[in-house]
Amino acid sequence: MPIAPTSFDNITVGYISETEGYVKYVSVADANAYAELNPDTEFIFINGDEQIVYLPIEQVNQLTPKNLLRSNSCDTADKPCGPPALKFFGGGGIGAQANPVVDSQGNLIAVDLVNGGFGYHTPPQVQVIDPCKNGNGAVLETIIKDGVVVKVIIKDSGNGYLPPPQTVPQYPAVLTITDVVVNDPGIGYNCGVDKLTITPSNGTVLSYKCDPFGKIKSVSVDKGGRFTDLPQISMDTESGFNAKFVPVFDIIRDPQPVEPVIRDVVQVYDLIGLNVQGWIDGKAYYGNVYFDDGIKYAGTDSNNGSDIQVWDTRPESITNSVTADERLQ
């Protein structure tokens, strides 16, 4: 971003077109012309801190060159080393954001997709940015549906990535293996005899299919376990070689209740800035919520929920705190 924008001509916005996708570098004058024909348009503005802001045309007209400046342009001090940041680019859309999940061995094992963005015509690429260049090698792939990023698959976990200082906001999550990507099918495996193993298994059961040449075609997760570190998946064989696999995890953000599975919970460092959905037992809650008779609960709906009420304020959640044993009664 420029340190000292010279004029209002530097100010541009974007918008999402049903036919053209994400249209960017639109001048304020052109934005006003577009808004006359499409009065409910929300325009997209990227400020000096590279934050995405959604504005009606009235607020677009209030933008000044100051909005293009970084909030602290003179801050050149060294920053503490921490986890990698994820930057989505390309694909014709905008707005996808995610938090990385780094295990204790420095592997980037999962991605918590916070915002799928919109307007993508093709899957965007993801750049893994390590501020101190400790980690490297991670390769990510995105899947889109109806212009929105719906999943990020890690093709290679890389190594050497660091967690941030404990002062960085974080939230709990559970990682459950739901799929296995065959990165390399290998060759020469004795199908039906050779065993596909995962170490540690954590209760996971896998099966596989292969072609007449002994190449691994696909892997199925018959039963998914929970993990906090990257497991190793390999073929136990005397004849085959070169097959390579990558586990894919679903993330349950801020699971409730956490007491029975506390050993399975990982801490995800919030680099994006999640919205707090409410409070449970005095702690901020970041997970899904649903409403029943106007009351907010943790979970996705009444069939898949927890019957744990989410309160609007911390004091309310403390006053109405319920223990895990009481919930089971």
Report pLDDT digits (tens) over 132-147.
Answer: 788 999 999 999 999 8
Dihedral over alpha carbons 180, 148, 92, 274 (to 10 degrees) = -90
- What's 80's DSSP letter? P
**Tokens standing for 99?**
């938090």
- What's 200's DSSP letter? S
Q: How confident is the model at residue 328 (pLDDT cuts 50, 70, 90)?
A: very low
Amino acid at 315: P
Cα separation, 12 vs 4, in Å, equals 15
pLDDT (mean) for 191-202: 94
pLDDT of residue 52: 79
In whole angstroms, how large is the CA radius of gyration of the chain? 23
- pTM for the whole structure: 0.72
What are the boundaries of each domain within the chain? 8-68, 85-167, 172-251, 275-328
pLDDT (mean) for 218-225: 95
pLDDT of residue 1: 47
Q: Over 70: is that where the pLDDT of 261 sits?
A: no
pLDDT (mean) for 29-46: 91
Cα separation, 264 vs 228, in Å, equals 6
